[in-house]
Amino acid sequence: MTDIPAEKENPAEKENPAEKENPAKTENPVEKENPAEKENPAEKENPAEKENPAESVTAPKEMQGAPEGQKAVEPSRVAVKTGIATRYWLELMPYPAGSERSLWLFVNDDWKHLDDPDPSTQVSVQDAFCRCSERLEVLVWYSEDVIKGLVVKTT
C-alpha cells in the first residue's frame, strides 16, 4: 500500500478572485447622492392653487402694475363691415403734416383709410385699379372709417 501523503493545498481550490465580492455590487461613492434625483422645488405644491382650486391654471391673470399694453384687451363691440373699393387715393406725403401717410379707399359710398400702408399693399392696390382693373378688385374690411384689412383678389 502506498501512503498518501498529507493532502497538500490544491491550487485549484484556492480562493477564486472572481468569487470575491463584485465591486460593482458594492456601494459606489459617485452614486451615493445624486443631486439631480433630489426633490425639485419647482414641483412642490403651489400655495396659490390651494387658495382657489376651481381657478384654471392656464387662465391669464391680470398682473398688478402691468403696463397698459400688456393688460387684457376687451373685444371690440364695433361691427366690422365689408365692401368692394371702387376708387383709391394714396397720400404720398402725410396730410395734415405730422400725421401718418394714408391709403384711402372708396367703399360703400364713403372714404375709408389705412394709416401707414406698407409698400406691398400700395403696389397691390395700385395694380388692382390701374393695371388689371378688369381682373382684380379690392375687398375691404372696415369699422367706421378705418380699414381693418384688405385683399386684392381676382374678379
Domain contains 32: no
Structural domain count of the chain: 1
Domain contains 36: no
Domain contains 119: yes
Domain contains 14: no
- pTM equals 0.50
Confidence at residue 90, expressed as pLDDT on a 0 to 100 scale: 93
107: left (phi over 0), alpha (psi -120 to 50) or beta: beta
Domain contains 128: yes
Domain extent, residue 98, equals 81-154
Domain contains 107: yes
Domain contains 3: no
Give the three cell numbers for residue 57.
391654471
Q: Which amino acid, 19? A: E
108: left (phi over 0), alpha (psi -120 to 50) or beta: left
Domain contains 11: no
Confidence at residue 133, expressed as pLDDT on a 0 to 100 scale: 83
Q: What is the pLDDT along the chain (155 residues), one digit of tens a residue?
A: 556 655 556 555 556 555 555 555 555 555 556 655 666 665 566 555 555 555 544 545 566 666 665 555 566 567 899 999 999 999 988 888 888 899 999 999 999 999 999 999 999 999 999 988 888 999 999 999 999 999 999 98
